[in-house]
Amino acid sequence: MKHVNLLAGVALAAQAFALPLAAAEFELTFSTTYSPAHPYGVADAEWIERIHEATEGRVNITPFWGGALINSREGVDELEAGVADIAFISPIYASSGYDLSRLTPQFFYGYDDALEVLEVYRELWEEYPQFAEELSGVKVLAYNVGSPMHLLLRDKPFNQVSDLRGLRIRSAIDYVPTLAHFGAEGVTMPMTDTYPSLQRGVLDGVIAPYEALRSLSFAEVVNYYSELPHSRGAYPSRAMNRRTWDRLPEDIQQVFEDNIDWWTRATYENSQASEEAGRIYGEEMGVTFNTVDPEVVTEYSAAFEIGARQAAEELDAKGLPGTEILEKVRARKGD
């Protein structure tokens, strides 16, 4: 499957507003914190059209962009409460709960193939029902995974680990222990809330991919992009309210089931297509890019094992198979 052309995808997103022109058998709402122009939004818009066509018009899905209904930090809770029928969710940023979703992504440190990460993660979902059980109020419809991210900073580039001391960095929970190990504070806020925090100086930086320079306008509020690799785990990213799901007939449910892999892959491929465009945009905006010395990368990366072991033990203490899952993830990496 080829990724969606971004301009064409934006046009599809605009069309998605107009999909429910005639009453359908099932009128559903979709909420996301992202805009229709963001790579995720582009994939979402095409998926909305795809579902409409695959159900022969029986399902209309009305999108609400930009966090109009649901925010990503508490997205699972809000979706479960019925604020929307379908939503973009980020359980990895939840304030509490969703322990396997929040803590296992950091087990993938050192992986550089995003699709391999996704394959291993999906296998874990099949093997360990606890993943689905902690999201029992929703039906997962897609997953997110991405290539390694890097370090974007407001005031100075990163060249050695001592440069991190005293900085406040927006980070996925995966990276917080490693940042703390080197004297930085990791802040786990949703990516869509990060721009104003960088703009005001509440944050000194963010761990993000190239595409975020353009799609989230980070090139406007950072001056340096230091290529310090941060591997990315996978996580459930789109879901349907369980009560809504249970009301759908089996043939309609099957259409959604049949498109889980498609939506997951479309999200990934649209994001990848945006990476080069993001770097070019950053250069045009005056962002300085620098490559980090391999020895420094090795020193930094070694600290990820500490956080991963701590997370596994935390899961073990809650009666979840944390260490067992960690060992399987590391075995696949060849550690």
CA 289 to chain centre: 24
Residue 16 clears pLDDT 70, i.e. is over it: no
Long-range contacts of 280-285 (CB under 8 A, 24+ apart): 281/213, 281/214, 281/219, 282/210, 282/213, 282/214, 282/219, 282/225, 285/213, 285/219, 285/220
Q: Terminus-to-terminus CA distance in the chain, angstroms?
A: 32
What's the rounded Cα separation, in Å, for the pair 82 and 200?
34
- Judged on CB neighbours under 10 Å (0-12, 13-18, 19+), 286 is exposed
What's the pLDDT score for residue 57?
97
- Please check whether residue 56 is in contact with residue 65, taking contact to mean a CB–CB distance below 8 angstroms: no
What's the pLDDT score for residue 52?
98
Residue 251 clears pLDDT 90, i.e. is over it: yes
Residue 77 clears pLDDT 90, i.e. is over it: yes
* Residue entry with tokens 């099932």: 26
DSSP 72: S
Question: Dmax over Cα atoms in the chain, in whole Å?
Answer: 61
At 131, is the pLDDT very low, low, confident or very high (cuts 50, 70, 90)? very high
For residue range 22-62, list pLDDT tens digits in order: 578 999 999 999 999 888 999 999 999 999 999 999 999 99
Q: Which amino acid is at 92?
A: I
What's the pLDDT score for residue 167?
98
Nearest alpha-carbon partner for 213 in 231, 191, 228, 197 = 191
Name the residue with higher pLDDT: 307 or 243: 243
Say how many CA atoms lie within 13 Å of 291 toward its Cβ.
3
Whole-prediction pTM value? Answer: 0.80
What's the rounded Cα separation, in Å, for the pair 179 and 163?
11
Question: What does the mean pLDDT of the chain come to?
Answer: 91
Q: What angle do CA 324, 125, 113 make, to 5 degrees?
A: 85
What's the pLDDT score for residue 74?
79
From residue 226, how far is each of 43, 151, 192, 303 by CA, in Å? 28, 5, 21, 18
What's the pLDDT score for residue 334?
80
Helix residue spans in the chain (DSSP H):
6-16, 39-54, 75-80, 99-103, 114-127, 130-133, 176-181, 194-200, 212-215, 242-247, 250-258, 260-284, 294-302, 304-317, 322-333
Domains of the chain: residue spans and CATH: 6-98+135-145+233-258 (3.40.190.170), 149-232+276-333 (3.40.190.170)
What's the pLDDT score for residue 112?
84
For residue range 136-182, list pLDDT tens digits in order: 999 999 999 987 899 999 999 999 999 999 999 999 888 898 999 99
What's the rounded Cα separation, in Å, for the pair 24 and 28?
10
